[in-house]
Structure 1
Amino acid sequence: MLFFAVWSFPLFLFAADERRVSRVEWANVDGWMEGAWSSRLRSPHDALMSRLWGRLKLSADVGDVYAYAAFDAMHNWRIDGESGFSFHEAWLEYVGKGWDVRAGRQVIIWGKADGVQVTDLVSPPDYTEFITRDLEEVRQAVDAAKVRLLGENVDVEMIWIPSFRPAVLPSGDNPWVVDSGLPAGVSVTGVEAREPDVSLENSEFALRVSAYLPGFDVAASVFSAWDDYPVMHRKVVRHEGRTLVSFSPRYHRVTVFGLEFSRPWADFVFRGEMAYLAGRFFEPDELTGVPLRKNSLSWLGGIDWTPGGDWSVIGQLTGVVIFGYDPALEQDEHSLALTLHVMKKLFRQTVSLSSMVYYYPADNDFFERIKLEYDLDDNWGLQAGVDVFGGAGSSFGVYRNNSQAWFKARYSF
């Protein structure tokens, strides 16, 4: 938290200025505790999720300065590496006239998509339990300084991230680790990926300009960053009928140019996002192949429909195009995915029933989450659902044995 302390100091100087503030206007302590458990739908019907998770949130408003910190504590009976204490967020914010600055560990959210990340790339994901966690639990906070210039119709957001934080993938005893399925006669060795050192040269920078026009919102962004995932560079040696593959994973820089918009009309909201990624590496189709650097375009188009009666329907079509395509790559030149999110609120909006489906038509690959939520009162909430994986593809079909029924109980205070 050295970065947080350094950036907090000048903000505390603002707070200490008697001309700006004379007292702490308010302080607040809240948070939640949640127990979650699941059972695999297929034999051996073991628990894929078994954890107790708590978050304590502290905040205070000192004149023009707002302080916030959130601490996590978890005991995970299924995934050993998840148990322990950690900082989720810890930052200070100073609000000026037409501008503000926030410094510290913070979650940064971009984009307008539902359950899909296209331009929402600033906070790296945590896929410890693949995509079965809510997106707010998937996003990791980053140590950053963020300055916003707030105009009447246009906002400008500038972000500096001096320290790199990678995406988290399942490892060790995690049941979401995918079996590599090495072919006969092949052995694999490797080393841990080395993260970029903390320096000005290795910093990440982002700029986003948002315009709020009559009946139309649009935003353009550029993000110079390290790819959240290491590139699996490899050396292949063949000797006496055997093949040895030695991996040397390395992180590489990418530049992301983003565009997003939304347009309401009657009972509908039309949304779109595009992200042009320059200089990203793609994995080869063969284990002994070579990763190739290509430019790509990720895009999304979506429609939100609220027909009344507490119904909500969100449909999205997303895709990825790889420019200068090479058939040796694992990913197709063009890929499409569809999502459909249907929700109905019942009993004076205390109960909601929803279904979220992800579908890749090329492989008939799909994931569906059916969820029932019940708010008992202002403190207690219950959730129950089913996650179903299927298809022949590598995105969801490989997890078909991890289809599960689950239950959560949360107490908020």
Structure 2
Amino acid sequence: MVRLTGNTRGYRPMVGALLILALGLAAAPAWAQQTWSGTQSTEDDWGGDDWGDDPWASEQTGWQWYGFVGGAAAARLHNDPAVDEDYPLAETRLQIEGERVLGDYTATIKGDVWLDGVEDGGRGDLREANLQGRLTDAIDIEAGRQILTWGTGDLVFLNDLFPKDYVSFFSGRNDEYLKAPSDAIKLSFYGDANLDVVYTPRGEANRFITGERLSYFSPRRGAVTAAPPAIDPDERDDWLDDSELALRLYQTVDGVEYAGYAFHGYDKQPSAVDPATGTPYFPRLSVLGASLRRPAAGGIANAETAYYFADDSGGDDPNRPNEQWRFLFGYEHEPLADLTLGWQYYLEWTQDHDALIDATPADQRRYAPDEYRHLLTNRVTWQLLRQDLTISLFSFFSPSDADYFFRPQAEYRFSDRLTGTVGGNVFGGEDPWTFHTQLQDNSNAYARIRYNF
């Protein structure tokens, strides 16, 4: 992500948010009456663009361009003494996506530019720039900047070790921005069993909370804190030396989807600390896992597991994460037309926990992870008014941490191209050092409007 322009002090969050929404709603009738050439878009599970079939696609030459323009604003629900900003999100955004067929290959490019009212400036992000096609009848390739995802979890990731953007997710941006891009080469082999191989020449970290837009709990300070100073870890940014490799072997047998996973690279979070300097860094990480998904009782059931081989195999270094088993069980079904329900149970089982506690200083032990961390999730999605209105609620609750995270949302489709969304991110719990409770002062309500073209 890059900064495009200098400081724009006149563009303040509240003014920007009101202008975005007012201009969008005022122009909505005119937008809705226009007709456009090209292919229309709908949002997929990640909030991205899923372009419909175009009967003229085989005759098109040159680049085909799509995109959207929109605005978003989010206001905090609580005063956050650590952050001198009432709005975690206030922006006007333009996304452009292009495709061009080049023989047996397709070139894709997708990028965003936006005016950011929180950080007072212009920003840009190249989300995709790749070439994909068929090397042989049994091998596909996709090379370049791309969005990668696999695994069976719904907003819970075990074997998906590709980068995420949690700042966008917690600030109120569209769900598509939870997935951050990777510069990678992906090879897909097809046969009796299918194999995906993803090689990333330089490790890609999450876009994690640094304290610049959202506050977080610091064990070293013993309190919720924010920038300055921002979290500034040692980067894993050497090409080839800091490379990562991910594998997925999968096949469907009698309606059951089986998959096995392997990953060797680095933790996506700066979860380790150099005790001499206090500088966080991204420790090495290897993961082996498996999953299955199948029809069950009128719905879809899934199970997934992963073992995290951490940099500290003995478990007696509190400055590095211990190894973990992770388990996920889920079920989704549609009890009524246009009503979808989903549940998940997730478990993190920290290995060598006794050694970790013994090695942790007494005044820091309450911040150490529990041996077993349990998490329950529930998704409710209800479509109304001929599916023009979608109401949803995603809930996270951890009985072991005694904390929660609620994501209510309502989206209305004014036309095939214009949508408006309101929702929220609500955090809470007992102890300020647990994952969701530390974000309590970041709770916010947001509004977005988007016009696809």
Q: Do the structures match in fold with TM over 0.5?
A: yes
1:190 to partner: Cα distance: 11
Whether 2:278 is the aligned partner of 1:250: answer no
Residue pairs, 1:6-405, within 5 angstroms: 25=61, 27-43=63-79, 46-80=86-120, 83-95=122-134, 96-121=136-161, 123-129=162-168, 131=170, 132-151=172-191, 154-171=193-210, 173-178=212-217, 182=221, 192-230=232-270, 231-235=272-276, 246-280=277-311, 290-292=318-320, 294-325=322-353, 326-327=356-357, 328=360, 330-393=368-431, 394-405=434-445
Unaligned runs of 5+ in 1: 1-21, 236-245
| Distance of aligned partners of 1:314 and 1:337 in 2 relative to their CA distance in 1, 3 Å threshold | same
State the 1:24 CA deviation. 6.5
Shift of 1:271: 0.6
Contact 2:69–2:95 (8 Å) recurs in 1: yes
Q: Which moved more, 1:337-346 or 1:128-137?
A: 128-137
In structure 1, give the amino acid aligned to 2:377. T
**Distance between the aligned counterparts of 1:171 and 1:249, measured in 2?**
11
Distance 1:100 1:396 in 2: 40
Tell me, in whole angstroms, the C-alpha distance in 1 between the residues paired with 2:231 and 2:86.
32
Aligned partner of residue 128 in structure 1, secondary structure: helix
> Are the aligned partners of 1:380 and 1:411 in contact in 2 as well (CA < 8 Å)?
yes
Letter in 2 for 1:38: A
Q: Is the 2:112–2:125 contact (alpha carbons within 8 Å) kept by the matching residues of 1?
A: yes
Q: Helix, strand or coil for the counterpart of 1:136?
A: helix
Q: Describe the shift of the 1:343–1:24 C-alpha distance in structure 2 as closer, same or farther (beyond 3 A).
A: closer
What is the alpha-carbon distance in structure 1 between the residues aligned to residue 159 and residue 264 of structure 2?
A: 13
Q: Which amino acid aligns with 2:340?
A: S
User: How far 1:110 moved relative to its partner?
Assistant: 0.8
- 1:22-81 Cα shifts (integer Å, max 9, x gaps): 997563200112211122223589323211222110101222101100111021111358
Contact 2:169-2:175 within 8 A present in 1 as well: no
Higher relative contact order (CA 8 A, sep 6+): 2
Q: What is the match of residue 452 of structure 2?
A: 412
Tell me by how many angstroms 1:182 deviates: 2.3
Does the CA-based 8 Å contact 2:216-2:438 persist in structure 1? no
Q: Distance in 1 between matches of 2:280 and 2:198?
A: 27
Q: Which amino acid aligns with 2:160?
A: D
| Identity rate, percent | 26
Relative to 1, partners in 2 of residues 1:63 and 1:261: Cα closer, same or farther, differing over 3 Å? same
Distance 1:180 1:130 in 2: 23
Given that residues 227 and 280 in structure 1 are in contact (C-alpha distance below 8 angstroms), is that contact kept between their aligned partners in structure 2?
no
Secondary structure of the residue that 2:148 maps to in structure 1?
coil
Q: 1:205 to 1:53 in 2, by over 3 A?
A: same
- Structure 2 counterpart of 1:387, which letter? N
Give a deviation string over 1:312-350, Cα, whole Å, max 9, x none: 000000010111112236111111000000111111111
CA distance in 2, matches of 1:79, 1:360: 33
- C-alpha change, 1:403 and 1:214, in structure 2 (3 Å) is same
Distance 1:251 1:363, change over 3 A: closer
Query: Displacement, 1:392?
Result: 1.3
CA-atom RMSD in angstroms: 2.8
Displacement of 1:258: 1.7
Q: 1:48 to 1:195 in 2, by over 3 A?
A: closer
Contact 1:41 1:403 (8 Å CA) reproduced: yes
After superposition, what is the alpha-carbon deviation per residue over 1:119-162, rounded to whole angstroms, capped at 9, x for unaligned? Answer: 111x21222245354542122111111111123x5211111111
Distance in structure 2 (CA, Å) of the matches to 1:378 and 1:351: 12
Letter in 2 for 1:225: G
Structure 1: which amino acid aligns with 2:125? S
Distance across 1 between alignment mates of 2:212 and 2:236: 27
Q: Which amino acid aligns with 1:323?
A: Q
* Equivalent residues of 1:204, 1:226 under 8 A apart: yes
The 8 Å contact of residues 384 and 407 in structure 1, kept in 2 or not, is answered as yes
> Is the contact between residue 168 and residue 178 of structure 2 (CA under 8 Å) also seen in structure 1?
no
| CA contact 1:164–1:195 (8 Å) conserved in 2 | no
Amino acid aligned to 1:32: F
Give 1:13's aligned residue.
none
Q: Distance in 1 between matches of 2:73 and 2:166?
A: 18
Q: Unmatched 5+ residue regions in structure 2?
A: 1-57
Partner SS for 1:115: coil
Letter in 2 for 1:379: R
In the superposition, relative to structure 1, how do residues 321 and 172 fare at CA in structure 2: closer, same or farther (>3 Å)? closer
Aligned residue-pair number = 372
User: Do the aligned partners of 1:234 and 1:290 also contact (CA within 8 Å) in 2?
Assistant: no
Q: What's the CA shift for 1:118?
A: 1.3
Shift of 1:265: 2.6
Instruction: State the TM-score, normalizing by the size of structure 1.
Output: 0.82
